[in-house]
A and B are shown apart, each in its own frame.
Chain A
């Protein structure tokens, strides 16, 4: 029991790390070893604490939601918001994933960021990120979760714009924060709805009293869930608020791996899982969640086909995979959503770190020969198999996993989601459409991953003769974490082995108590027996075909070097330009808003109407009045006398009446 109460330690450690590294960054930036020891050490310690908490909880799951109350944060009349952590099965799982993956990425960063002058600053931001992510995952009520929610947004702003000296990065950071903020607007409004309905903001209270307070399928519960989902789209980069994630690749690669693949972007899925009762009670919203998930999965996958920057491809792949998780959550299979979240964290982090190795190698090669080629453009790579073999094999494992090839992790989680969508189709036919989109997206995923692997590792090398000599494998500090992630990608599926091959769905049972309130409203009959085999077979076939097509198409044609590459034409151009969505947003939202505020509000209303007319107008009027009266003083005595007498007569008339 006491182990779970140590959970605050898991948060306190990274806070200490942040403060120490922050101080070092300001006053002793060159003390790199100290920074790396503190930064990574703190994370490893936090991971150990997480294991302790998980152990404490697993040997006595009955006392499930353990509320660890630190202090009373907002005591105002009936509103009693405490800064408290809630440790239950869902939180424990997320705690493990976050601390585990973060520790690996911290180790990787030690190698990747070694020469960067802002080394200490980088680690302090990364530690701060982990603090906020843990607060988000462990928060016991909406406001505390919101601290983590916005906190991670802040850290992604700081880390995306880490190399702030050039405008592009700073812009990307700002765009990420503001788009998250639009999502947060949704989250806030949902919180206010909940306060108005329940008069209490604690998760335990809400899930317990949801059935009694809110009418299932009613307007209020739908509104709450839709606004919550608006928050999720902002944070987890779903349509329409996804355009910030591809630009977020401007940040260092480990950041993309940690924040924009494994942890932050999954916050949305965690929130849906945490408030599963509400979503279960609002079938309309669940359909919306599933729908947007499926559409995003397909839409992002198509864009991924024609991207040349290796990180952009992975970014769109992340958006697409997140779409899958929301598809899972939308169909009511929250457990499989979380399962896919876990497996995705492993292989996507592996892919990003692998691409980090590749970019690192390319940088050193170009650096050595002082050429200014784009180190991230796949068209400059090719045939890196023999130069970075370890990275190649590990990334191959990850590619197989993401494509859903058994026995790798991705197969189990993605298959479960597709199966759930298909099952749900029984009582809501629209889910069949989502299932179709999901399958198509799976095909495209396999295709673009194969294309990525082919362009990067196969074919003849296009980096250039002199650079080729400098291409060599990354040091062990960087490839070590990759190996661990590789192992996890392989055995990841074991977490939740489906019954039809002897597994007993460990994760699903583990999350049972948390998801139980939701199940009462939307029980999901997973397909069994022959139907299941057919689905599984189809999924595997899709994966294999996708991969084979990807390799064949890419290696078939010769790939020109980035500098010499002709501009794309027709639909390919539309894809590589990301359907011009960014330009669309800019034209529809940003530019009119700035025009409105500058021309209409500031110049127009503020200066002319309010200032000009009302204020200065009053001044002008009084001056004119003064002038007018002055004319009366003509100096002619006669005029004065007349005025005097007219007054006298007037008074007389009044008196005589």
Chain B
């Protein structure tokens, strides 16, 4: 058992990063920045995984691998959507994109 596992501090850091990511998502109107904040949130989660992987074995780290692949896929598709919307409305501002209105 390594002498200092930094479990508490890393979890706290992960929480703070996650909150910042959430704040970013809520605040920014620019779609791309929004995606970046989502990436930030995902990183925070990775950190938590790693912090606990020290106790639960390799499972945690493998999970981070999967998270990364998902993040990549999500970023790719997300940006493609933004491209398509941009071509259509010449803007990435989320405010006036409301095709989903019920």
Contact = CB atoms under 8 A, between A and B. Distances in A.
Direct contact between the two chains A and B in their complex (CB within 8 A): yes
B25 A633 contact: no
B79 interface: no
A152 to B, nearest CB: 73
Interface residues of A, number: 12
Nearest to B27: A638
The B interface is mostly helix, strand or loop, or mixed, namely: loop
A636 B102 contact: no
Contact of A635 (B25, B26, B101): B101
A657 interface: no
Given A641-B25, A645-B22, A635 B94 contact: no
Contacts, number: 29
A636 B99 CA distance: 8
Interface in B65-102: 94-95, 97-102
B101 A633 contact: yes
A367 to B, nearest CB: 85
Contact of A637 (B22, B94, B102): B94
A470 B4 CA distance: 140
B97 A637 contact: yes
A645 B26 contact: yes
B25 A636 contact: no
A638 B100 contact: no
A641 B101 CA distance: 14
A553 to B, nearest CB: 95
Given A641-B26, A645-B22, A645-B26, A632 B102 contact: yes
A385 B30 CA distance: 122
A630 B97 CA distance: 18
A633 B100 contact: yes
Interface string A631-656: 01111111011100100000000000
A632 B22 CA distance: 21
A636 B29 CA distance: 11
B95 A636 contact: yes
A638 B26 contact: yes
Interface in A588-644: 630, 632-638, 640-642
Nearest to B28: A638
Q: Which of A632, A633, A637, A645: most chain B CB closer than 10 A?
A: A637
A634 B26 CA distance: 16
Contacts of A635: 98-102
A637 B98 CA distance: 7
Contact of A642 (B26, B94, B95, B101): B26
A244 to B, nearest CB: 69
Nearest to B38: A641
A397 B95 CA distance: 113
A589 to B, nearest CB: 60
B94 to A, nearest CB: 5
A633 B102 contact: yes
A632 B25 CA distance: 20
Contacts of A637: 94, 97, 100
A640 B101 CA distance: 11
A650 to B, nearest CB: 14
A637 B29 CA distance: 10
A640 to B, nearest CB: 8
A633 B99 CA distance: 11
Contacts of B101: 633-635
Contacts of A636: 94-95, 98
Contacts of A641: 25-26
A655 to B, nearest CB: 14
Nearest to A648: B22
A640 B26 CA distance: 10
A656 B101 CA distance: 35
A263 to B, nearest CB: 81
Contact of B98 (A630, A632, A634): A634
| CB-based closest 8 A-B pairs | A633-B102, A635-B98, A635-B101, A635-B100, A630-B102, A637-B94, A636-B98, A641-B25
Interface of B: 22, 25-26, 94-95, 97-102
Interface of A: 630, 632-638, 640-642, 645
23 contacts: A630-B102, A632-B102, A633-B100, A633-B101, A633-B102, A634-B101, A634-B102, A635-B98, A635-B101, A635-B102, A636-B94, A636-B95, A637-B94, A637-B100, A638-B26, A638-B94, A638-B95, A640-B100, A641-B25, A642-B26, A645-B22, A645-B25, A645-B26
Given A635-B99, A636-B98, A645-B25, 11 more contacts: A632-B102, A633-B102, A634-B101, A634-B102, A635-B98, A636-B95, A637-B100, A638-B26, A638-B94, A641-B25, A645-B26
